[in-house]
């Protein structure tokens, strides 16, 4: 392939690491970790990724494998004299720009996140283990090496690149000849005696390296080879040992087991082996995972090995998260992120699908319409859902842990697609006024509902505490009605598709006209006299409501006039007990919370329809009412209205609309109070 036309590169240059990378290197180099050995698995994992990438590219561009190195492999080499350990792969390599981008100048979001984790935990021993998870594993080489040289060539280029650094803030780049495909990393190992806390490992010892590969990289899908040197006494023609003369024999060994674990019989695999495979294959060294090893027979035969990791990756909800399963055909990787297999809401599931029935060079476009793949996908989705069900019904604690990690994903499944509602609604968990300790499913809420309660009530707020103090909760609490607490920002969006559950509508305590229904009140009043109440209770209540709206009409009209089009309406509330006012929104359209979230996310701007509700039994409101009825000048009532409106805004977590005007009016009201 001809090299791309680009701006001319200098042949040799020195560059500075980005500030965050510099900080990271400083920690890696100067902290005394005993877990230094992890550098090896990080570099081998990178090599394995590079081989994956090359293999996938070769499906569409087979000529890149038609050189003298068709076998994809990783090789290790120890040079005791030079004190170097070299890790080579014949994978995809890197262009000049890619080297700069991947290792050095451009700070990756992972460096920053990793630094934050280190800072939080004051970088303890085990934190360094996380380095690979944040996409900065390469730098772990500097735990053991005083100098690192990387030579690489991309199939897109004619010239290779040499990158070299002592980890001291700068690195050198040079365009060089490189004849072998892929990347070679030479580690000039630190002299252990100079290190304050030498580890027991000698990384120049071939058996140490062999054991480390067995321990950390046994399940890498490519052979990891190393030359083994054994010294033997030289023998003469007759087979007699010649004293004082040694010969070195060299044998190449493959250090890892290459047979894919998913092809083995389930009965033969121990749980620890699955987990070890999971860690090594998905570079998730800390977490454990739940395992599904599935075999599909029938029209399409396949094997799948799926994992539900115990801890969500840090970037699960950001756009740079690589979702999708790995797709293999007869042990050959054909796609590393096949998103067609599992729905988006299960993107946290990691795994492998291997089907001999799939064609090797299947394209992404073809995959989207591939019937076999759809069948496999449907089967896998069902199996994962069954697994979640099993946790929910039989291991609740475990399910709650999974929910903590992936609840957002499952909720996303409901609010983005209505068709998922039925499938997923029973997996939702919410905090509830019923119990401080236990989360509740919708089903459990409904089971607890008094027979006569019609709706499922919920309240939206950042924390349990906030919700419990909301004015809108006052009457609900008095009546002892159970309320689900929507404390996650996305919870309220659920209601866009989840209007009802088993025929009961979901009703916000801050929206629309709150109706508890006669019957609920009756529940509370079971012992009170009921005579004559029953028949026309609904009508009576409505009539009463109308009457009170009528009674306060002059006041509410005046208040509406004072607030103009900031609000749609002022009305007498049936949800307040001790607060004078609260803001609610219409039962349709956006709520105040949704308006705020969309504004924060710069996602269009839709306004909620605000309604100011007043508590006719509150002293302030009574006083305002009396003043209006007496026909006293309106200025005072207007001031109070604006203050009350702003108070309601503050309770909602909104800013004051005009702080200066607010303070002025506040002072006026205080002066007024002094006079009386």
Q: Which is nearer to ligand ADP, 132 or 461 (CB)?
A: 132
What's the sign of the alpha-carbon dihedral 379, 385, 389, 395? positive
Task: Classify residue 311 by burial, with Cβ atoms within 10 Å: 0-12, 13-18, 19+.
Answer: middle
Q: Which is nearer to ligand ADP, 102 or 323 (CB)?
A: 102
Please give the size of the binding site for ligand ADP, defined by CB under 6 A.
Answer: 17
Is 413 one of the binding residues for ligand ADP (CB under 6 A)?
no
Positions 630 through 669 that interact with ligand ADP (CB under 6 A): none
Is 47 one of the binding residues for ligand ADP (CB under 6 A)?
yes
| 84, 76 contact by CB (below 8 A) | no
The minimum distance between CB 6 and ligand ADP, in angstroms, equals 19
The minimum distance between CB 74 and ligand ADP, in angstroms, equals 9
User: What CA–CA distance (Å, rounded) separates 265 from 535?
Assistant: 70
The minimum distance between CB 396 and ligand ADP, in angstroms, equals 35
User: What CA–CA distance (Å, rounded) separates 152 from 96?
Assistant: 9
Region at 362 (left for phi over 0; alpha for psi -120 to 50; beta for the rest): beta
The minimum distance between CB 502 and ligand ADP, in angstroms, equals 46
Q: Which is nearer to ligand ADP, 89 or 595 (CB)?
A: 89
Give counts: helices (H), strands (E), the chain: 21, 23
User: What CA–CA distance (Å, rounded) separates 485 from 246?
Assistant: 78
Q: Cβ–Cβ contacts within 10 Å for residue 132, how many?
A: 22
Angle between helices 659-675 and 635-651 (to 10 degrees): 130
| Options 21, 25, 54, 92; binder of ligand ADP; rule CB under 6 A | 92
- Residue found under tokens 């604690």: 397
Within 417-532, residue ranges assigned H as helices are: 421-424, 442-448, 464-468, 474-479, 491-494, 517-524
The minimum distance between CB 49 and ligand ADP, in angstroms, equals 6
The minimum distance between CB 139 and ligand ADP, in angstroms, equals 6
User: What CA–CA distance (Å, rounded) separates 46 from 283?
Assistant: 10
Q: Record the tokens describing residue 118, joined without a space.
A: 């280190």
The minimum distance between CB 21 and ligand ADP, in angstroms, equals 10
Q: Which is nearer to ligand ADP, 85 or 136 (CB)?
A: 136
User: What CA–CA distance (Å, rounded) separates 645 from 580?
Assistant: 10
| Options 65, 91, 104, 467; binder of ligand ADP; rule CB under 6 A | 91
The minimum distance between CB 111 and ligand ADP, in angstroms, equals 9
Positions 129 through 168 that interact with ligand ADP (CB under 6 A): 132, 135-138
Q: Which is nearer to ligand ADP, 92 or 559 (CB)?
A: 92
Q: Which is nearer to ligand ADP, 24 or 637 (CB)?
A: 24
Positions 487 through 516 that interact with ligand ADP (CB under 6 A): none
Stretch that binds ligand ADP, among 41-49, 337-345, 464-472, 654-662 (CB under 6 A): 41-49
Q: Which is nearer to ligand ADP, 89 or 613 (CB)?
A: 89
The minimum distance between CB 209 and ligand ADP, in angstroms, equals 17
The minimum distance between CB 304 and ligand ADP, in angstroms, equals 25
Q: Which is nearer to ligand ADP, 162 or 560 (CB)?
A: 162
| 109, 126 contact by CB (below 8 A) | no
Region at 363 (left for phi over 0; alpha for psi -120 to 50; beta for the rest): beta
Q: Cβ–Cβ contacts within 10 Å for residue 163, how many?
A: 23
The minimum distance between CB 51 and ligand ADP, in angstroms, equals 9
Q: Count CA atoms closer than 13 A to 643's CA, side-chain side.
A: 18
| Options 25, 44, 46, 58; binder of ligand ADP; rule CB under 6 A | 46
To 5 degrees, how large is the angle CA 209–CA 212–CA 217? 115
User: What CA–CA distance (Å, rounded) separates 253 from 81?
Assistant: 21
DSSP secondary structure of 602-660: T-------EEEEE-TTSHHHHHHHHHHHHT--SHHHHHHHHHHHHHHHHHTTPPPS-HH
| 376, 341 contact by CB (below 8 A) | yes
The minimum distance between CB 93 and ligand ADP, in angstroms, equals 6
Is 50 one of the binding residues for ligand ADP (CB under 6 A)?
yes
Is 203 one of the binding residues for ligand ADP (CB under 6 A)?
no
- The percent helix, strand, coil of the chain (3-state, each to 5) is 45, 20, 35
| 648, 566 contact by CB (below 8 A) | no
Bridge partner residues of 79 (DSSP):
84
What is the per-residue binding string for ligand ADP in 97-136, x denoting contact by CB under 6 A?
-----xx----------------------------x--xx
Stretch that binds ligand ADP, among 42-50, 334-342, 567-575, 581-589 (CB under 6 A): 42-50
| Options 89, 431, 482, 491; binder of ligand ADP; rule CB under 6 A | 89
Give the list of residues 6+ apart from residue 404 with CB closer than 8 angstroms, or none.
Answer: none
Is 313 one of the binding residues for ligand ADP (CB under 6 A)?
no
Q: Which is nearer to ligand ADP, 92 or 509 (CB)?
A: 92
The minimum distance between CB 43 and ligand ADP, in angstroms, equals 7
| Options 33, 59, 93, 432; binder of ligand ADP; rule CB under 6 A | 93
Q: Which is nearer to ligand ADP, 47 or 428 (CB)?
A: 47
Q: What is the dihedral angle through the alpha carbons of 668, 670, 671, 675, rounded to the nearest 10 degrees?
A: 130
Stretch that binds ligand ADP, among 88-96, 308-316, 513-521, 579-587 (CB under 6 A): 88-96
Is 260 one of the binding residues for ligand ADP (CB under 6 A)?
no
Q: Record the tokens describing residue 523, joined without a space.
A: 């529940």
User: What CA–CA distance (Å, rounded) separates 103 from 162?
Assistant: 12
Q: Which is nearer to ligand ADP, 103 or 555 (CB)?
A: 103
Stretch that binds ligand ADP, among 92-100, 161-169, 449-457, 607-615 (CB under 6 A): 92-100
| Options 84, 95, 183, 329; binder of ligand ADP; rule CB under 6 A | 183
Residues of this chain that interact with ligand ADP (CB under 6 A) are 42, 46-47, 50, 89, 91-94, 102-103, 132, 135-138, 183
């Amino acid at each position: 392939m001809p090299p791309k036309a680009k701006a001319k590169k200098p042949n040799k240059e020195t560059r500075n690491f980005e500030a965050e990378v510099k900080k990271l290197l400083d920690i890696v180099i100067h902290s005394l970790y005993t877990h230094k050995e992890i550098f090896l698995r990080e570099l081998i994992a990178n090599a394995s990724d590079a081989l994956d990438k090359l293999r996938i590219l070769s499906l569409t561009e087979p000529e890149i494998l038609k050189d003298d190195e068709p076998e994809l492999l990783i090789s290790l080499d120890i040079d005791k004299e030079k004190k170097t350990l070299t890790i080579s792969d014949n994978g995809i390599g890197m262009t000049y720009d890619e080297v700069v981008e991947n290792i050095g100048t451009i700070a990756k979001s992972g460096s920053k996140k990793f630094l934050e984790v280190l800072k939080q935990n004051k970088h303890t021993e085990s934190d360094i283990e996380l380095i690979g998870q944040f996409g900065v594993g390469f730098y772990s080489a500097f735990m053991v090496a005083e100098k690192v040289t990387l030579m690489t060539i991309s199939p897109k280029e004619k010239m290779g690149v040499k990158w070299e650094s002592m980890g001291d803030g700068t690195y050198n780049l040079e365009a060089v000849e490189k004849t072998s495909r892929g990347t070679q990393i030479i580690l000039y190992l630190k002299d252990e005696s100079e290190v304050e806390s030498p580890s027991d490992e000698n990384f120049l010892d071939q058996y140490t390296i062999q054991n480390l590969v067995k321990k950390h990289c046994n399940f890498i899908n490519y052979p990891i080879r190393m030359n083994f040197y054994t010294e033997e006494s030289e023998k003469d023609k007759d087979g007699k040992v010649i004293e004082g003369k040694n010969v070195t024999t060299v044998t190449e060994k493959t250090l890892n087991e290459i047979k894919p674990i998913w092809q083995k019989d389930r009965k033969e695999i121990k749980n620890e082996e699955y987990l070890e495979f999971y860690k090594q294959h998905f570079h998730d060294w800390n977490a454990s995972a739940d395992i599904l090893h599935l075999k599909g027979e029938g029209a399409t035969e396949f094997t799948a090995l799926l994992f539900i990791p115990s801890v969500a990756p840090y970037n699960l909800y950001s756009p740079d998260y690589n979702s999708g399963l790995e797709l293999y055909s007869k042990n050959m990787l054909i796609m590393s992120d096949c998103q067609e297999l599992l729905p988006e809401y299960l993107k946290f599931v990691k795994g492998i699908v291997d089907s001999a029935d799939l064609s090797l060079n299947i394209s992404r476009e073809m995959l989207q319409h591939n019937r076999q793949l759809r069948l496999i996908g449907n089967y896998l989705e069902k199996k994962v859902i069954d697994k979640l069900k099993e946790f929910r019904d039989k291991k609740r604690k475990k399910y709650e842990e999974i929910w903590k990690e992936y609840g957002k994903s499952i909720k996303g499944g409901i609010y983005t697609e209505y068709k998922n509602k039925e499938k997923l609604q029973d997996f939702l968990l919410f905090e509830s006024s019923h119990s401080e300790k236990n989360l509740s499913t919708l089903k459990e809420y409904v089971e607890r509902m008094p027979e006569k309660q019609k709706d499922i009530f919920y309240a939206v707020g950042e924390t349990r505490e906030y919700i419990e103090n909301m004015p809108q909760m006052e009457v609900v609490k008095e009546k002892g009605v159970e309320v689900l607490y929507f404390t996650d920002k996305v919870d309220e969006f659920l209601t866009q598709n989840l209007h009802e559950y088993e025929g009961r509508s979901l009703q916000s305590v801050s929206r629309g006209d709150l109706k508890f229904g006669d019957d609920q009140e009756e529940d509370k009043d079971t012992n009170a006299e009921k005579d004559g109440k029953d028949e026309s209770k609904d009508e009576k209540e409505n009539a009463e409501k109308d009457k009170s709206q009528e009674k306060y009409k002059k006041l509410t009209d005046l208040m509406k006039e004072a607030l103009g089009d900031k609000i749609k309406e002022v009305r007498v509330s049936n949800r307040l007990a001790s607060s004078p006012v609260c803001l609610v929104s219409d039962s349709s359209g956006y709520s105040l919370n949704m308006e705020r979230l969309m504004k924060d996310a710069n996602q269009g701007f839709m306004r909620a329809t605000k309604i100011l509700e007043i508590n006719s039994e509150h002293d302030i409101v009574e006083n305002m009412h009396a003043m209006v009825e007496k026909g006293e000048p309106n200025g005072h009532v207007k001031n109070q209205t604006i203050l009350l409106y702003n108070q309601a805004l503050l309770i909602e977590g909104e800013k004051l609309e005009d702080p200066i005007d607010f303070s002025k009016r506040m002072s006026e009201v205080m002066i007024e109070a002094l006079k009386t």
